[in-house]
A and B are shown apart, each in its own frame.
Chain A
Amino acid sequence: MSLLIKNGRVVDPASSTDAVQDVLIAGGRIERVGRDLPPAAAATVLDATGKIVCPGFIDIHVHLREPGYEYKETVATGTRAAAAGGFTAVCCMANTHPVNDNRSITDYIRARAAVEGVVRVYPIGAVTRGLGGEELAELAELAEAGCVAFSDDGKCVMNAALYRRAMEYTLPFGAPVISHAEDHQLSLGASMNEGVVSTELGVAGAPAAAEDIMVARDVLLAELTGAHVHIAHLSTAGAVRLVRDAKARGVRVTAEVAPHHLLLTEEAVRGFDANTKMSPPLRSKRDTEVLLEALVDGTIDCIATDHAPHAGSEKEGEFDRAAFGIVGLETAVGLLLDRLVKPGALPLATLISRLSRDPARLLGLPGGHLAPGAPADLTILDPAAEWTVDPARFQSRSRNTPFGGWPVTGRPWKTLVGGGIVWE
């Protein structure tokens, strides 16, 4: 089974390619990339004139919710949402029920993904047993079972000594620990960012320092242990500065940013829509500007959605009692194209790099480039498509987004995994 993608604008950051070319796929792999490849070479020809052909996007921060919270999302619905959003691979966080802190859960997730996963699924194992923050999970066995990283995401491992041991213990596995950087005492009871808006609304706020303190700690622990620490969902200007300084010193720290932290500020919380409630919270305008700058200059390595599905009943009630988090897989690419690339704030090639090559490198995952022999995971974008975010049409089981009704130009056109079209 072979496929020739003709006349698309091929953007492959790994080879610094940005040109109208053809991509020939055979046997689930990239066979050739070049100009004017003969149609006769392939069984099927796909005309991609006016479209942008990229390495498949990889979201390293997703909550698939299975096992345990199938009413929010499943491997089937979550990976369908990923495909619809242009992602060819996702890494799923460990805060399932039971927690992915042992091999049987990792095996289960991988088995579900093999049967009904639409895109590639890489599980992330818990750092501590039951996310309890008290004793290490069986990290070696989790790595052997296929976990590509370790994280108690949703919670911060507050015990610095234990976290240090986790970093040391996982050193030989080549899989980083991923930090949810939040001092839970400083953020106790908080539902939003601490600032003038929280003061006006009378909603308890978490100061930026609650995040910055833990980023500082984790940078120091990375320096102490030599481990690779990846900071999830960076959201503050202070955390950006810490990561930038650490990288300059040669510390093995990487970081991701979520689209909502680039596109929304705490002002969105006015109106008390719980779809503006997430952890870390929406921050100030200045934070969004610093995050964007850091994404462009590479201080922030990649974009990850922190796709966090919740049922309607968990989001429609009182703001301070609502669940944290929003879905992101099906809106990320379109919103970033429309709100950042279109106005010129983020170069297209940088966006594509931060969604494909950079996350693949960060976790050592296959894909992320279009070199011959690479898996034929591709995202093809239609930069001209005009659409409106309509949560009712999501493939995800959940609808919790603050972006409903936003008009958007640009979206994924087709998503290919292993040479097969999984979404169009």
Chain B
Amino acid sequence: MGWTRKDLLAMRDLDASEILLLVDTAATLQEIAGREIKKVPALRGKTIVNLFYENSTRTRTSFEIAGKWLSADVINFSASGSSAAKGESFIDTAKNIAAMSPDVVVVRHSSAGAAELLARALPCSIVNAGDGAHEHPTQALLDLLTIREHKGHFEGLSVAIVGDIAHSRVARSNIHGMRKLGMTVTVAGPPTVIPPFVQELGVKVAYRLEDAIRDVDVIMMLRLQHERMTAGLIPSLREYSRYWGLTLDKLRAQARPDVLIMHPGPVNRGIELSPEVADGPYSVILDQVAKGVAVRMGVLFLLAGSRGAEQA
């Protein structure tokens, strides 16, 4: 089955075969990173705009490298120092950019739904690079690719996602993706950061780290934002780290010996992950980053490449 969508907005929208197509496409493109000349002509003549309304180093760079390795022209637009800083509305800015005929707009925004808004307003393809606490599909795809490379399959695997689930787009995208591929998901954290009715998304909930990480195949730790303390969600980073920080001791006591430790980054060392775990043998955190470029190449190729093929 081929790719038929104009946009990539949310893992919730995709069925299992579409997710596998994205992961498989990324897997075949991985070898480009090992080449001496990291360039293929797949998207030559295509224009990709990175429209970033929120600070991001890793994701923006990843999309930029992905576009360049595919020979697309990549333009970065960040909200600071732009017309957005002068008070232009999001939709106006986007329409202005669309008037310059890009093939793909990659958007990162702090508001949930921002990518869907653009997808309705603009004729070009939209890639959601993170919209508020809603979704971050390319992160979920790179997590899935990383998991398959290490475990060989998806069906039947169990995953614990630990931390601030309520504010995490990474958690939401992964929950949808993993469930569709037959994985079991447990979300864990203090009740104040577990969103209401999350069980209805088909996940289990644990309120103790030890319960969450016992015998799972993958542990995904989420970053704890400092502002969650001022909102009264947790009493202190110290207490959070004591009960929810993943240390080598807790890992050895509860987890399987072949468990994978993942983190979407950036890591708060010493808070959700102890340095020994972040840099330890179970950790595949840097591998995730490498897979990120491959996944974004795959996404851009399927969106811009297939559109090109239709026109030809």
Contacts and interface: CB of A to CB of B under 8 A. Distances in A.
Contact of B201 (A198, A200, A313): A200
A386 B109 CA distance: 42
Nearest to B111: A318
B134 A201 contact: yes
Contacts of B12: 200
B197 A318 contact: no
A165 interface: no
Contacts of A202: 112, 131-135, 167, 169, 172
Contact of A317 (B91, B135, B169, B201): B91
Given A202-B172, A271-B116, A272-B117, A319 B111 contact: yes
Contacts of B132: 202-203, 320
Interface string B277-301: 0000000000000000000000000
A196 B90 contact: no
Interface in A181-205: 194-196, 198-203, 205
The interface centre, meaning the residue of A200, A313, A317 with most chain B CB atoms within 10 A of its CB, is: A200
B6 to A, nearest CB: 16
Contact of A201 (B109, B113, B117, B196): B113
Contacts of B113: 201, 203, 271-272, 318-319
A195 B196 CA distance: 6
Interface string B151-173: 00000000000000011010010
A268 B58 CA distance: 34
The interface centre, meaning the residue of A200, A202, A313, A316 with most chain B CB atoms within 10 A of its CB, is: A202
B89 A272 contact: no
B198 interface: yes
Given A202-B169, A272-B112, A318-B90, A196 B200 contact: yes
B212 interface: no
Given A200-B12, A202-B133, A316 B91 contact: yes
A378 to B, nearest CB: 43
A317 B116 contact: no
A397 to B, nearest CB: 20
B114 interface: yes
A313 B198 contact: no
Nearest to B136: A202
B45 interface: no
A199 B111 contact: no
A271 B117 CA distance: 8
Contacts of A198: 195-196
B118 to A, nearest CB: 10
A321 interface: yes
A201 to B, nearest CB: 6
Contacts of A200: 12, 172, 201
27 contacts: A196-B196, A196-B200, A198-B195, A199-B195, A199-B196, A199-B201, A201-B112, A202-B132, A202-B133, A202-B134, A202-B135, A202-B167, A203-B112, A203-B134, A271-B113, A271-B116, A272-B116, A272-B117, A316-B89, A316-B91, A317-B117, A318-B109, A319-B111, A319-B112, A319-B117, A320-B111, A320-B112
Interface of B: 12, 89-91, 109, 111-114, 116-117, 131-135, 166-167, 169, 172, 195-198, 200-201
**Which 8 pairs, one residue from A and one from B, show the smallest C-beta to C-beta distance?**
A272-B113, A202-B133, A318-B111, A202-B134, A196-B197, A199-B195, A202-B112, A319-B113
Interface of A: 194-196, 198-203, 205, 207, 271-272, 313, 316-321
Given A195-B197, A198-B196, 7 more contacts: A196-B197, A199-B198, A202-B131, A202-B132, A272-B113, A319-B111, A319-B113
